[in-house]
Amino acid sequence: QQPVQSPQAVILREGEDAVINCSSSKALYSVHWYRQKHGEAPVFLMILLKGGEQKGHEKISASFNEKKQQSSLYLTASQLSYSGTYFCGTSDRGSTLGRLYFGRGTQLTVWP
Amino acid sequence: KAGVTQTPRYLIKTRGQQVTLSCSPISGHRSVSWYQQTPGQGLQFLFEYFSETQRNKGNFPGRFSGRQFSNSRSEMNVSTLELGDSALYLCASSRQGVNTEAFFGQGTRLTVV
């Protein structure tokens, strides 16, 4: 049930855009996005729920295609601070009783 | 508001010993989940507690256990430590559990020698 993230790694110049994808073989109820810098804890970015509700960082945008069981995270006009490993976590249950399954991560490097 | 607090931040233990890690969730959050993070395996779910009850458990041996107190603080215990238990242990707190926003603590870096 582990979601698959793509690409595994991205290298950008400041100001460029990137898209990180997360797909699952199971129907999803929610997708969570986190960014983790080396040696630090994962930082919450966004949660997307079935039905269209979203909560998260105001400078981050993401989509959730329920039919395709996919989510994409859009990073526009990237900054140096965007560097880190991005993880998606997915839940396939509609209640709060389930658990998150995390992808292996996408390593994003932004160069000046 | 205060974030999720994990103590200690670093631990070095020898094989065969046991260890207890602590997690204080964000005020008002009743769900605490524990994860093991290693370079090879990524984020692996250990267990989740809600209102002092274990609701979910991952695929880890019985040496890994946990509990939650009435103030929602949680502890996890690893007995008979093995070298392979060396990892970053993270806890995440949320109001109700999955499908609500979850915030991670800084983690406890456990090294088993």
Q: Express each pLDDT in A39-55 by its tens digit.
A: 888 999 999 998 888 88
| B99 in contact with A, Cβ within 8 Å | yes
Work out the average pLDDT over B5-12.
97
| A30 in contact with B, Cβ within 8 Å | yes
| A42 in contact with B, Cβ within 8 Å | yes
Q: Which of A5, A35, A100 to probe by mutation at the B interface, max B CB count within 10 Å?
A: A100
Q: How many CB atoms lie within 10 A of CB A75?
A: 23
Work out the average pLDDT over B103-112.
96
∠ Cα A61 A85 A51 (to 5°): 35
- Answer whether A8's CB lies under 8 Å from A104's CB: yes
pLDDT tens-place string over residues B50-103: 999 999 899 999 999 999 999 999 999 999 999 999 999 999 999 887 778 889
Does the distance separating the beta carbons of B104 and A43 come in below 8 Å? yes
- Minimum distance, in Å, between the CA of residue B11 and any CA atom of chain A: 15
Spatial separation of the C-alpha atoms in residues A34 and B47, rounded to whole Å: 19
Contacts of A66 in chain B (CB under 8 A): none
Lowest mean pLDDT segment, chosen from A48-52, A74-78, B27-31, B59-63: A48-52
| A13 in contact with B, Cβ within 8 Å | no
pLDDT at A5 over 90: yes
- Minimum distance, in Å, between the CA of residue A29 and any CA atom of chain B: 8
On the CB side of B19, CA atoms within 13 Å amount to 24
Q: What is the residue-averaged pLDDT of chain B? A: 94
Spatial separation of the C-alpha atoms in residues B100 and B113, rounded to whole Å: 37
| Size of chain A in residues | 112
pLDDT at B1 over 70: no
Torsion of CA B77, B83, B88, B93, to 10 degrees: -20
pLDDT at A60 over 90: no
pLDDT at B82: 97
- Answer whether B58's CB lies under 8 Å from B44's CB: yes
B71 CB contacts (<8 Å, ≥6 apart)?
Answer: none
pLDDT at A94 over 90: no
Spatial separation of the C-alpha atoms in residues B72 and B51, rounded to whole Å: 7
Place of tokens 């041996």: B61
Contacts of A93 in chain B (CB under 8 A): 98-99
Work out the average pLDDT over B12-24.
98
